[in-house]
Amino acid sequence: MSFMGKTQTVRRTAHSGCRASAGASSGGGSVLTPELRTAVEEFLQEHKVVLFMKGNRQFPQCGFSNTCVQILNMVQVPYETVNILENETLRAGMKEYSSWPTFPQIYIDGEFIGGCDIAIELYQSGELKELVEKALVS
């Protein structure tokens, strides 16, 4: 099952089951259920470079997402994109997962690296190229 397919299933579970509040930073319930967290972690293990964005690489839906696509294209690394506009549960869940309130979000070797500003910094310093090269051989 595709990652989006899995998260759609998790969404149904999340809405029908209880909403655990453990780990939530705000006082309300958490969207990041153990099932969703596991699905995300598996996906991040499978793909070394992942961009959670608005839209996709052919049709980015926001300027910051587009910038990340362009940067990753220039680094010439294979990467996956996930369109968080297609899935509200995933959109909220990824914010909790990363403790980062906005998109785009770049993950390298399973770790959250940052958003557009940080991608630009890391690209300009050469660090981004280093990070992806290290990830590809790990």
Partner 1 sequence: MAASSSDVGDGGQLTSTMINDMKEKIGQELEAVSVVVQDISGDGRHVSIDVVSPVFEGKSSMNRQRMVYKAIWQELQGAVHAVDAMTTKTPTEAGVGQQPRQ
| Site residues (vs partner 1, CB under 8 A) | 25-27, 98-102, 112-114, 118, 121
Question: Shortest approach of partner 1 to residue 1 CB, angstroms?
Answer: 31
Question: Shortest approach of partner 1 to residue 22 CB, angstroms?
Answer: 15
User: Which residue's CB is nearer to partner 1, number 27 or number 126?
Assistant: 27
Distance CA 7, CA 35 (A): 9
Torsion-angle region of 43 (φ positive above 0: left; ψ -120 to 50: alpha; else: beta): alpha
CA 6 to chain centre: 15
User: Which residue's CB is nearer to partner 1, number 25 or number 58?
Assistant: 25
User: Which residue's CB is nearer to partner 1, number 1 or number 22?
Assistant: 22
Question: Shortest approach of partner 1 to residue 70 CB, angstroms?
Answer: 20
Question: Shortest approach of partner 1 to residue 23 CB, angstroms?
Answer: 12
User: Which residue's CB is nearer to partner 1, number 60 or number 114?
Assistant: 114
Q: List the one residue out of 9, 29, 10, 132 whose CA is nearest residue 79.
A: 132
User: Which residue's CB is nearer to partner 1, number 46 or number 117?
Assistant: 117
CB 57, CB 81: distance < 8 Å? yes
Contacts of 61 (CB under 8 A, 6+ apart): 53, 54, 55, 83, 85
CB 90, CB 7: distance < 8 Å? yes
Question: Shortest approach of partner 1 to residue 25 CB, angstroms?
Answer: 4
